[in-house]
Structure 1
C-alpha cells in the first residue's frame, strides 16, 4: 500500500466514523467501512465521490447552523429592503386593524341594543 493510498484510507475512515449516519449517502456506514478496509484505494475514492455529504452540508454543520431552513440563517434577512415601502405597509396594517376594531365594537354595540330573536341561541 502506497503512502497516498494509506493517507486516503485513514482520512476516509475518520470521515466515515465522524459523519452522522443520516448524512452518509448511498450505503450504510458499516458498508462504507468494510469497503474502505477491504479495497482501500477504490473504497476511499468511492467514499469521497459517492458517500460523504455534499460540501454545502459539511460547511453548514461545521459552522454550527442548526436550522433546517437556510433562509432563516441568511445575514441581514430581518433588515428592510426598502424602508419607504415598509413604512407604507405598516401604515396600511395599522389602518386595517383600526377599521376591524371599529367594526367589531359597532357590532357589539348593536348586539347589546337589539333584543335577541326568539329561538336564537344566546350570544357568547
Structure 2
C-alpha cells in the first residue's frame, strides 16, 4: 500500500489575500506561494510544510451560489482542520465575528463547525486529551 496523503484543496474565493490572512490567524498557517493562476486569476497557497489550501479567484468576481453543497453532485461540503487546542482556536474564530455551530464530543475527538466569508464550511477537530 502507498503512503498517499492529501497535499491541497483548491477553492474559489472572493479575495485570496483576505482568505490567507484569516487562515493565518485561525490556524497559524503561512502563505507558501502566491501568484498568477489559471485563466488570468490569482492564487494563494496557505498552509504548513506538508499541506495547504489553494485560494483561487478569477479575474472577474466569482458568483456566490445559493445551492447547498451537501445537495450538489461533487460539491465541497467542508474542509476539516486538526488543531491541538480546540478551545483557543474557537476563541480566535469567534473573535473575528464568526458563529460556530454543531459542536461534537465523540470518539475520536472534539469538533465544531463554522462558515467563512465565502460560505466555505470548516470543521475544526482536536484529538488531544
TM above 0.5, one fold? no
Which structure has more RCO (C-alpha within 8 Å, separation ≥ 6)? 2
TM-score (norm 1): 0.24
Larger fraction in helix = 1
Report the TM-score, using the length of structure 2 for normalisation.
Answer: 0.24
